[in-house]
Amino acid sequence: MSNQIFNAASLLGDLESYTVIDEHDSVLKESTLEFVKSTPEFYKRSHLPGHVTGSAWIIDRRKRLVLLTHHAKLNRWMQLGGHVEDDADIQSAALREAREESGLNRVEFVSRKIFDIDIHEIPKTPKAPAHLHYDIRFLLDADSTEPFRISSESNSLVWSSLENVHLFTNELSVLRMIEKTTIQTASLS
């Protein structure tokens, strides 16, 4: 195990500069900021009732497809991501999780700025009580022709067109990222 120290100041700065798109987004930002400021253990998996996680919303280089995982424990389609481990910052956690859960090597940040924030409950398991994930999400891209590898954390992986994501999930936080993808990629053109 590494002695890496998580950069809390960097996350606070990133959260402060996160641009919200609506009132719901603003509530998520403020709640996450309050949580992070309330405890120095905010990023540790062992901190219950909740902790910060890092996720990757991976689009293809043509900005038409998104990589979804069918999460084994949660039994639903979603973005890739997970817990902070020995990561220096939340971006490193999201990138590590993206690579571990997809097997893709050529995954890169479209931007290192926070793309989306979500707060959701993780159900009780034999190992942990129900708790919250304060999920910090980043927009990454990858080559959709590179073969992916399904990890033990997933039942399946699929590249879906942005238009067809609703066929896999009706999770509002996932559908919100489609809207944000459209906005972000339009500004990059």
**What CATH number is given to the structural domain containing 60?**
3.90.79.10
Q: Which residue has the higher pLDDT, 171 or 5?
A: 171
Residue 9: is its pLDDT beyond 50?
Answer: yes
Are 35 and 136 within 8 A, CB to CB?
no
Task: Count up the domains in the chain and report the number.
Answer: 1
**Residue 32 covered by a domain:** yes
Q: Which residue has the higher pLDDT, 154 or 186?
A: 154
Q: Please give the structure tokens belonging to residue 111.
A: 């931007």
**Residue 77 covered by a domain:** yes
Give 164's DSSP letter.
G
Cα Rg of the chain, angstroms: 16
**Residue 79 covered by a domain:** yes
Calculate the average pLDDT of the chain.
Answer: 94
Q: What span, in angstroms and rounded, lies between the C-alpha atoms of 139 and 151?
A: 21
**Residue 176 covered by a domain:** yes
Mind giving me the DSSP string for 10-60? HHHHHHHHPPPSSHHHHHHHHHHHHHHHH-TTTT-TT-SSEEEEEEEEEEE
Reported as a single tens digit per residue, the pLDDT across 67-83 is 999 999 899 999 999 99
Residue 3 confidence class, pLDDT cut points 50, 70, 90: low
**Residue 2 covered by a domain:** no
β-partners of residue 77 are 70
Q: Please give the structure tokens belonging to residue 96.
A: 């590590």
Residue 1 confidence class, pLDDT cut points 50, 70, 90: very low
Mean pLDDT confidence for 45-65: 96
Residue 159: is its pLDDT beyond 90?
Answer: yes
Q: What is the pTM of this model?
A: 0.95
**Residue 69 covered by a domain:** yes
Q: Which domain holds residue 53?
A: 8-188
**Residue 35 covered by a domain:** yes
**Residue 3 covered by a domain:** no
